[in-house]
Amino acid sequence: MSGWLGDAAVAHLRAVAEWPDVGERYEITRRLGRGGMGVVYGARDRVLDREVAIKVVDDIGSHADAARLLAEARILGRLEHPAIVPVHDAGSLADGRVFYVMKLVRGERLDAAMASRTVSERLDLFLRICDAVSFAHAHGIVHRDLKPQNVMLGPFGEVLVMDWGVARVAGAAPDKEAVVGTPGYMAPEQEHDARSADSRADIYALGVMLDAMLPQPAPRPLMAIANRARAARAADRYDTVQGLSRDVSRFREGAPVDAYRESALERLARIYQRHRLPITLVLVYMAVRMILLLWFRT
């Protein structure tokens, strides 16, 4: 064989030489994409004969990235919830880089999936996201980078909240970074100092997400819920994610919501919407009675 390497061979060698050597158990099959501090590869777990995803720290020398990736893996390991991607394994490569193995998530991102959904379906998705975030908060974990791009929808209706790379455990050592998160979804206090971001920073991001998920113009009570969740002052937001999701659920049920003070007319309209059939039957009954009464009088 000659020593000449064609373009295709050079490109292929660059790709396969880049793939990390994760040991005997996993066989890297493709590169899926890049996250904040590492690259995610598709791989086959030879022992269990299944497809998995492996996230590997990018920089060999970055102890901060390695610590963050390991922290992310541990956080995910603690959060066993149907809407949070499960971690199967974690370890170090021969060169010291940290990696973890997780479920391979197939599907589409929330932001790409909204157009084809009804308002009711969107609210259902939002409530399931809230469930996952609420679960994390109950375990003392704040995500700090919630946005539609970090939520995946599976082919069987699964909702998965992804990318817990900048999540923070309550009581953990404060971050050195001044800012973590994504502009537009970051609470004002998080923009100034990531260390001050508590669970209400996630509630802020959920408020922005709710607004983004709604068709325009959105019903006023829903806009009020979104606005309250993303209030500039943390103290003006919902205290908990349950409070937020309770209000959204109440809207779905046709009940009054805490975030919106409705007028008498709006209240009547809402009550009518909620009890349309019995009210219609009563009104028809009364109308018939009235007609009959007038008929016999004449």
Partner 1 sequence: MNFPPTRLSVIARTRSADEEMRRLAFATIIEAYWKPVYKYLRLKWQLGPDQAADLTQAFFATTLERDVLGRFEPERARFRTYLRLCVDGFASNARKAERRLERGGGVPMTSLDFESAEGEMVRYEPAVPADVEELFYQEWVRALFQRAVGDLRAWATSSGRDTMLAVFERYDLADSPDDRPTYATLAHDLAITPTTVTNHLAAMRRQFRRIVLERLRDLTTTDEEFEAEARRLLGSAP
**Which of these is catalytic: 145, 163, 202, 247?**
145
Give residue 265's region: left, alpha or beta (phi > 0; psi -120 to 50).
Answer: alpha
Using CB under 8 A as the binding rule, whether residue 106 contacts partner 1 is answered as: no
- Closer residue to partner 1 (CB): 27 or 236: 27
Q: Note if 145 is an active site residue.
A: yes
Closest approach of partner 1 to the CB of residue 101, in Å? 17
What is the rounded CA–CA span in Å between residue 289 and residue 279?
15
Is-contact 99 195, C-beta < 8 A? no
What is the rounded CA–CA span in Å between residue 162 and residue 143?
9
Paired tokens of 241: 């994610």
Closest approach of partner 1 to the CB of residue 5, in Å? 5
Using CB under 8 A as the binding rule, whether residue 24 contacts partner 1 is answered as: yes
65-94: contacts with partner 1 (CB under 8 A): 94
Stretch touching partner 1 by CB under 8 A, among 3-11, 215-223, 239-247, 255-263? 3-11
Paired tokens of 208: 């922005």
Using CB under 8 A as the binding rule, whether residue 97 contacts partner 1 is answered as: yes
User: What single-letter amino acid sits at 49?
Assistant: D
- Closer residue to partner 1 (CB): 16 or 277: 16
User: What single-letter amino acid sits at 8?
Assistant: A
Using CB under 8 A as the binding rule, whether residue 6 contacts partner 1 is answered as: yes
Using CB under 8 A as the binding rule, whether residue 17 contacts partner 1 is answered as: yes
At 76 the three-state DSSP class reads: helix
38-57: contacts with partner 1 (CB under 8 A): 39, 46
CA separation (Å) from 187 to 108, 109, 143, 198, 221? 26, 22, 12, 10, 22
Interface residue list for partner 1 (CB under 8 A) = 1, 3-10, 12-14, 16-19, 21, 24, 27, 31, 34, 39, 46, 58-61, 94-95, 97
Active-site residues, by number, are 145
